[in-house]
């Protein structure tokens, strides 16, 4: 039998967190400076309060100088110059895991710009560059997918959404059974729990990391809508399916309707947090629900500092903190 990669849970130790500093004016019209400030604050929080080394991709020396001016002096943070498109490394980088010998491996999908909607120069090269840079063994998977579409507990249970994984803009005609076999032939997967769809107005067609996250091997956290909250029907269905799968389900509030400065609806979520070595960095939106969400996540991670950071400016581009981070698991 061919070796399969074990993808760890995000709460397992990390050697580093990889991020990319946004620089494309065309991808961030009217909002590039705010997105850069958001990535700077996130990078600093992970490096210092999260006690996790940060590797921040920068396009060139000019971009690096600008990033430094925003971040200031931060321990545990190093700049790495390379070609990349935008900052969504959860999706353009591989999902890293452990080989049988404990060394680093990488699950590498085919990438088509989120179903052909957002194709940016160099994004398709990030996976190959990073695996070569880290000397990680590649586990090639002939599925068009992004890292934000898979969630794992590190012990063989995975979550995904059919609206993304089986979308005709990625894998036309593919069945659930075929998808499971292609993934399961390459990673240690005991079962895959399917949810139907994600949040409305999500550019990714419903990435799982916007709607449900593992916080322990048999426990997930997801959002519960208050009266009149957006996506109420979808969120109720998500919780029902997770309970039916035998998982313990913890609740988060759902943010109210949010829109960009141009009036475009935004897929706001508290589930898009990043679990660093010593902290959980949670997106907040300057709404009353923020406090309850931070409290619920603190209850789920009593051994970590829980840090809320403003995320609305980053969400304008389609995602939040989990979407822009990619963990490099420790191999020690």
If one counts every other C-beta atom within 10 angstroms of the C-beta of residue 210, the result is: 26
3-state secondary structure of 264: coil
CA nearest to 331, candidates 1, 4, 2, 8: 8
Would you say residue 2 lies in a domain?
no
Q: CB neighbours of 72 closer than 8 A, spacing ≥ 6?
A: 44
DSSP 23-50: --GGGSTTTHHHHHHHHHHHHHHHHHTS
DSSP for 54-102, please give it.
EEEEESSHHHHHHHHHHH-S-TTEEEEE---SSS-HHHHSPEEEE-TTS
Instruction: Please report whether residue 9 resides in a domain.
Output: no
Q: In whole angstroms, what is the distance from residue 267 CA to residue 200 CA? A: 6
In a domain, 3, yes or no: no
Q: Do 124 and 111 meet the contact criterion of CB atoms below 8 Å apart?
A: yes
Please report which helix (H) or strand (E) contains residue 128, including its range: helix 126-134
Phi and psi angles of residue 330, each rounded to the nearest 5 degrees, phi first: -70, 140
8 domain-assigned? no
- Asked if residue 76 is part of any domain, the answer here is yes
Q: What is the pLDDT of residue 1?
A: 46
Q: Would 7 be classed as within a structural domain? A: no
pLDDT of residue 200: 87
CATH code for the domain in which residue 62 is found: 3.75.10.10
Out of 87, 164, 222, 323, which one is annotated catalytic? 323
Phi, psi (degrees; rounded to nearest 5) at 109: -90, 165
Q: Tell me the torsion sign for CA atoms 162, 325, 293, 279.
A: positive
Q: What is the pLDDT of residue 106?
A: 98
- The pLDDT of residue 265: 81
**Domain assignment of residue 6, yes or no:** no
What is the token pair recorded at 266? 């935004």
* Dihedral sign, Cα of residue 152, residue 17, residue 294, residue 312: negative
Q: CA-CA distance, 326 to 332, in Å (whole number)?
A: 18
CA torsion 139→143→145→150, rounded to 10°? -70
| pLDDT at residue 138 in the model | 97
* Mean pLDDT in consecutive groups of 10 residues from the start of the chain, 332 residues: 90 98 92 97 98 98 98 94 97 97 97 91 94 97 98 98 98 98 97 95 95 98 84 94 98 88 84 98 96 98 98 93 98 78
> Is 147:115 a contact under the CB 8 Å cutoff?
no
Tell me if residue 141 is catalytic.
Answer: no
Enter the tokens of residue 205.
Answer: 């067609």
Q: Which domain holds residue 296?
A: 14-329
Beta pairing partners, 110? 144
Q: Establish if 1 belongs to a structural domain.
A: no
Print burial letters for 113-139: b (CB count within 10 Å at least 16), e (below 16): bbbeebeeeebeebbebbbeebebeeb
- Predicted local distance difference test score (pLDDT) of residue 332: 66
Number of compact structural domains in the chain? 1
């Amino acid at each position: 039998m061919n070796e399969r990669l074990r993808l760890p849970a995000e709460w397992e130790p990390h050697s580093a967190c990889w991020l990319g500093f946004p620089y494309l004016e065309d991808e961030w019209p009217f909002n590039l400076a705010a997105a850069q400030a958001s990535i700077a604050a996130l990078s600093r929080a992970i490096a210092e309060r999260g006690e996790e080394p940060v590797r921040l991709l920068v396009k060139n020396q000019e971009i690096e100088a600008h990033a430094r001016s925003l971040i200031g002096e931060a321990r545990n943070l190093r700049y790495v110059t390379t070609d990349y498109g935008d900052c969504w490394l959860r999706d353009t980088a591989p999902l890293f895991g452990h080989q049988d010998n404990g060394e680093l491996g990488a699950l590498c999908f085919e990438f088509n710009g989120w179903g052909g909607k957002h194709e940016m120069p160099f994004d398709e090269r990030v996976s190959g560059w990073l695996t070569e840079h880290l000397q990680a063994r590649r586990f090639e998977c002939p599925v068009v997918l992004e890292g934000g579409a898979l969630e794992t507990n590190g012990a063989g249970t995975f979550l995904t959404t059919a609206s993304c994984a089986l979308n005709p803009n990625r894998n036309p005609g593919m069945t659930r059974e075929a998808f499971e076999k292609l993934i399961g032939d390459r990673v240690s997967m005991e079962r895959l729990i399917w949810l139907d769809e994600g949040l409305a107005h999500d550019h990714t067609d419903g990435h799982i990391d916007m709607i449900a996250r593992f916080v322990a091997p048999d426990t997930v956290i997801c959002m519960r809508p208050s009266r009149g909250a957006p996506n109420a029907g979808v969120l109720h269905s998500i919780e029902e399916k997770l309970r039916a799968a035998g998982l313990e389900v913890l609740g988060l509030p759902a943010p109210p309707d949010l829109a960009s400065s141009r009036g475009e609806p935004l897929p706001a979520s508290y589930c898009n947090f990043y679990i660093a070595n010593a902290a959980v960095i949670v997106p907040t939106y300057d709404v009353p629900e923020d406090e309850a969400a931070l409290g619920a996540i603190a209850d789920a991670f009593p051994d970590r500092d829980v840090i809320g950071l403003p995320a609305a400016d980053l969400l304008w581009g389609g995602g939040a903190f989990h979407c822009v981070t990619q963990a490099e698991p420790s191999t020690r």
